[in-house]
Structure 1
Amino acid sequence: MNDAFDRRLFLQGAVSLSTLMALGLPASAAADEGALSFGHVKPFSFGVLVDRARKSASEAYVPPEKPAPGITSKLTYEELGKIKFKTEDALWADGPAPFPVTFFHLGTFFQKRVTINVVDGPNAREIIYRKKSFDMPADSPAQAMPDGVGFAGFRFQEPRAGQVDWKKNDWVAFLGASYFRSIGELFQYGLSARGIAVNAADPNPPHQEEFPDFKEFWLEPVPNSTNQIRVYALLDGPSVTGAFSFLMTREKAVLMDIDAHIFTRNDINRFGLTPLTSMYWFSEQAKPTAIDWRPEVHDSDGLALWTGAGEHIWRPLNDVPSTTTSSFSDSNPRGFGLLQRDRNFDHYLDGVRYELRPSLWVEPLAPFGEGSVQLIEIPTNDEIHDNIVAMWVPKDPVKGGQSFNLKYRLHWAADEPFPSNLARCVATRLGNGGHPGTARPAGLRKFVIEFLGDALKSLPYGVKPEAVVTTGRGELSYIFTEAVPDGVAGHWRAQFDLLVDGPEPAELRCYLRNGEEVLSETWLYQYHPF
């Protein structure tokens, strides 16, 4: 997915279906300028949607329709940037739901038709695409687009009764394959979530990665709610189908309670549930000389895990030399997420506000069972590509004809929602190993890991925490801790040198303790010698 296109392009996007139906008006009554139009009334329920997905899994896969390819192929990034959905035509611009809905136009990067319906009680109607609901130049290729071709996706605007102008601000967007994202509590888009990941970065041919699509959506108001909305989605792909329910809450953080019923058509080698997708290029830990003028460029800087056994783990992200998958085996994890911990503008210096990118945490609402959190890191030389994936992968092989029901909550927030009382890792730094004024042996690397937190503030005067460091290969030396000389209470750093031979990565582990008392979360790192 072209992340630069996705993150920059959010089009502007209003007679309510409930109002039309209450008035007893047929769909054609909404066909005048300045209003949406709707298809025929059809019965709808989530149970029926689950049955539809289950039945579809036993049938041959039919790829989504790509209407008017001769037109969409001409709607490039630049051309789509000139097309704006008319906010006066937004669904629920006047109620009853608190969040008006605007729509994305089909184009070069998003050619697949997405059907979008609005739910009213036990019934639903399709929202019909009409080009007159979009502002576009007179010479735009989209002027030739016929009505009824569908949309590329949609987004929820901020509430009409909120403090910001809803016509200029949105908080959730569904666009492309099964991708969706939210601005979280810091009002900035960044990483994305997906409905499912199939054979992501699988090194075993012929298991090609698939990108199942949310091919149809249903939007439903939540009765008497001023901060919630519900979305249903039908997922379809060559090897999998699914029915998803999203209950989305607009609070300080954005919460999404997801109930997913997933059915497999074929065997799947790497079956990724609750997948999160982000971008990491470089940070303070290891940056090639003069690669870019900015100190850091990333949407997320680490993977956080809260294991079923209660351990808190922090794994900084890498820009790896080749595609790498790390697996963290667990049973019934309490949560995991891709976080942006560094919130200092001076560490980025960029107007796109990387320091405000949301963190995204997965909280199981029902046991996940046995499996692993898998972290996929893909090499990149630019910020336009999403090159990081974190997902839950069941332990047992996944065969065609299986079904899964997953219940979980996504927290789009500034930080993980359940922080521990332990000190947390706030920086990882690498440099040449050895002592000042002495020869620096080839292959010797120094690691400096900063920890900050209340558990370190309470240490008695003169007591130093112990750094417990282990490595999967190589030789450790010169291990010690010291207070960071910045006057900040509870700010310590652990240092050690590592000598390794050969290019294979080394798996490192470090935490701080005082006697038998654990003081910090566990730092994990995959070091790629260079």
Structure 2
Amino acid sequence: MEVVVLPERFRISAIRDAAPTLRRRHLAVVAGAAALAAPRQISTARATSAAAPSSFDAQIVPTLARELSTRPHRPRRGNLPRVLDTLDYDGYRGIRFRAERALWAGAGLDFQVQPHHLGFLFKERVDLFEVADGQAMPISYDASHFTFDNGPPPADLGDIGFAGFRITHPLNRPDHFDELCSFLGASYFRALGRGHAYGLSARGLSIRTGHPQGEEFPAFTAFWIERPAPGARSIVVHALLESQSLTGAYRFAIAPGASTVMEVQAEIFARVAVDGFGIAPGTSMFLFNPGHRGTVSDFRPAVHDSDGLLMRTGRDVQIWRPLSNPRRLQVSGFQDSAPRGFGLMQRARDFADYQDLEASYHRRPGLWVEPMDEWGPGEVQLVEIPTPSEIHDNIVAAWVPREGLKAGEARRVRYRLHWVSEPPLPGGLLRFAATRSGAGNGSGALRFVLDTTPLQGRMDTLPQAQVSASAGRIANPVVQPNPETGGLRLSFDLETDRSRLSEVAAVLASEAGPVSETWTFRWTG
């Protein structure tokens, strides 16, 4: 463990040992491309569905989660016919839900539900229930609700259940139901705002991400989906979370729009003592961009779902950390108390930034996490995993509380997830829109060139650059207008002095205080 102290703002801890067990795949599936995790053994005591409806209220799922946390954890086992168990990626894509059979199709509501079929990487049953008038009705599997490109479905499947589900909504135009969000794979889910294309994912909870002994992946094992009232502008989903170490009860209130917002309430129950668990984790992909290209040979200028971690601390300091595809695993902890928000963002939003007609990286949303309670001390933990390909998710960011969970302890947490092009932050501060680096003056020196967003008014006096490094020396800092962008350009050299690692921070400030966010960067030799 290496600890580096940065000037009066935050502390970063770095774990630099590679952990190949953390690699996970990021693939497109069915008609929406949901983020996938690598095959993993997840044990759960699954909620039992019944043929008849049962009563339902807001305490049903928390009560069930609390009760399950007192029992031994039982493995979830898939029991699929071979034709489904051995499906490859293309075969799974060939199974599609019939839109006309969606839950609430033809009911005049603004939301519909389409279940995901089991198969490929998704072999463990997830139970789905429709909630209406205080009753929960199991949603039963019916093969006739799907089309199969590679021939008819296996005979006599029975009620095998589902792998998850998607919610559709007239998001982009009033006469068409677009995919709004999808819950598929462990506790992964993702959503879209207006005009977005699927990119990064969220998770219900993470446990020991970046730990050398491997990560534990909780899974959503059952969902209760409330039937919305006519004209309702949001939809409510309840979920049961289970893993070896804990259980959880989640409530999602999902409001679509230009930025889709999910209000999340979670109650977590520990079976055993749990350290290193992450609240509101986001999972993304960063392969390269112009400032971090290495030896990549690719016609595209950049390939990533997110290009930086943005934070707003409890002291109202705004911090931007460009992402990297490191040579070795990196885990950074930005220590804070009562954070105001954090998230993985996609700042490069022009087609010219990527030149990719298929992936549409310029339309990928950012994910901003807004706490609704006082979260206390902890850290925003950023995990960056080496990857050679864009099919791998290699970035994870989550809030890790300083105090873990004791066996038998319960903890409640509330937050909002904003799926956005721009995060809901106060205006006024310049943002660092581009980070570039190359050879500087002198042997071993590295030059950084940072461009800000355009100025929002006249600036009679240029701000001063406050640049620091935990190792090495900063030289030749220069601030100048950039007439091509309407913003400012900051350049400086980092003389590494044979250092192997240096945490660099920069901010533009006037006599009245900061005029920009704080830019941070980890240089490794």
Could you state the TM-score of these two structures normalised by the residue count of structure 2? 0.89
Partner of 1:335: 341
Partner of 2:180: 171
Aligned AA (1:370): P
Aligned AA (1:78): D
Partner of 2:204: 195
Change (3 A) 1:138 1:260: same
Change (3 A) 1:257 1:145: farther
User: Please, which of 351, 356, 365 is the counterpart of residue 372 of structure 2?
Assistant: 365
Rounded to whole Å, the distance in 2 between the matches of 1:7 and 1:279 is: 20
Matched residue SS, 1:4:
coil
Deviates more, 1:496-505 or 1:342-351: 496-505
Matched residue SS, 1:305:
strand
Aligned AA (1:143): P
Q: Is the 8 Å Cα contact of residues 69 and 111 (structure 1) preserved in structure 2?
A: no
User: Please, which of 388, 393, 396 is the counterpart of residue 403 of structure 2?
Assistant: 396
Rounded to whole Å, the distance in 1 between the matches of 2:156 and 2:257 is: 38
User: Please, which of 452, 456, 480 is the counterpart of residue 478 of structure 2?
Assistant: 480
Partner of 1:125: 137
Partner of 2:363: 356
CA displacement 1:204-233 (0-9 Å, x = unmatched): x4xx31111100001102334432111000
- What's the offset of the Cα at 1:143? 2.2
Any unmatched runs of 5+ in structure 1?
A: 12-36, 435-439
Q: Is the 8 Å Cα contact of residues 266 and 400 (structure 1) preserved in structure 2?
A: yes
Change (3 A) 1:236 1:291: same
User: Please, which of 60, 67, 88 is the counterpart of residue 55 of structure 1?
Assistant: 67
Rounded to whole Å, the distance in 2 between the matches of 1:338 and 1:495 is: 25
CA displacement 1:351-405 (0-9 Å, x = unmatched): 1110110011001111111111111111111111111111011112333222110
Deviates more, 1:403-412 or 1:416-425: 416-425
- What's the offset of the Cα at 1:97? 3.9
CA displacement 1:259-295 (0-9 Å, x = unmatched): 0001111222311111011111111212123432210
Matched residue SS, 1:273:
strand
Q: Is the 8 Å Cα contact of residues 29 and 93 (structure 2) preserved in structure 1?
A: no
Rounded to whole Å, the distance in 2 between the matches of 1:161 and 1:340 is: 20
* Alignment pair present for 1:423 and 2:454: no
CA displacement 1:384-430 (0-9 Å, x = unmatched): 11111110111123332221101111111111112431111101001
Change (3 A) 1:80 1:393: same
Partner of 2:217: 211
Change (3 A) 1:97 1:64: farther
Aligned AA (2:250): F
- What's the offset of the Cα at 1:137? 3.9
- Rg (Cα) greater in structure: 1
User: Please, which of 255, 279, 288 is the counterpart of residue 285 of structure 2?
Assistant: 279
Any residues of structure 2 matched to 1:182-261 within 5 Å, and which?
Answer: 182-203=191-212, 205=213, 208-261=214-267
Q: Is the 8 Å Cα contact of residues 247 and 271 (structure 2) preserved in structure 1?
A: yes
- What's the offset of the Cα at 1:134? 0.8
Aligned AA (1:405): R
- What's the offset of the Cα at 1:87? 1.3
* Alignment pair present for 1:2 and 2:3: no
Matched residue SS, 2:352:
helix
Could you state the TM-score of these two structures normalised by the residue count of structure 1? 0.88
Partner of 1:497: 493
Change (3 A) 1:371 1:93: same
Higher relative CO (Cα under 8 Å, sequence separation at least 6) belongs to 2
Aligned residues: 487
Rounded to whole Å, the distance in 1 between the matches of 2:158 and 2:170 is: 29
Partner of 1:89: 101
* Alignment pair present for 1:411 and 2:418: yes
Q: Is the 8 Å Cα contact of residues 174 and 181 (structure 1) preserved in structure 2?
A: yes
Rounded to whole Å, the distance in 2 between the matches of 1:251 and 1:379 is: 34
Rounded to whole Å, the distance in 1 between the matches of 2:307 and 2:33 is: 25
Change (3 A) 1:145 1:448: farther
Rounded to whole Å, the distance in 2 between the matches of 1:145 and 1:510 is: 64
Rounded to whole Å, the distance in 2 between the matches of 1:174 and 1:107 is: 15
CA displacement 1:423-474 (0-9 Å, x = unmatched): 111010010011xxxxx41x2110111112446x4321xx332110000101
Partner of 1:527: 523
Q: Is the 8 Å Cα contact of residues 432 and 445 (structure 1) preserved in structure 2?
A: yes
Structure 1 runs (4+) greater than 6 angstroms displaced: none
Rounded to whole Å, the distance in 1 between the matches of 2:427 and 2:363 is: 22
Change (3 A) 1:137 1:510: closer
Q: Is the 8 Å Cα contact of residues 186 and 358 (structure 1) preserved in structure 2?
A: no
Change (3 A) 1:453 1:399: farther
Aligned AA (2:458): S
- What's the offset of the Cα at 1:165? 2.2
Aligned AA (1:178): S
Rounded to whole Å, the distance in 2 between the matches of 1:183 and 1:87 is: 19
Between structures 1 and 2, the one with greater helix share: 1
Rounded to whole Å, the distance in 2 between the matches of 1:170 and 1:60 is: 37
Matched residue SS, 2:217:
coil
- What's the offset of the Cα at 1:160? 9.7
User: Please, which of 119, 122, 125 is the counterpart of residue 110 of structure 1?
Assistant: 122
Change (3 A) 1:446 1:138: closer
Change (3 A) 1:110 1:147: same
Deviates more, 1:339-348 or 1:63-72: 63-72
Any unmatched runs of 5+ in structure 2?
A: 1-23, 35-48
Aligned AA (2:453): L
Partner of 1:43: 55
- What's the offset of the Cα at 1:481? 1.1
Rounded to whole Å, the distance in 2 between the matches of 1:503 and 1:295 is: 30
- What's the offset of the Cα at 1:499? 1.7
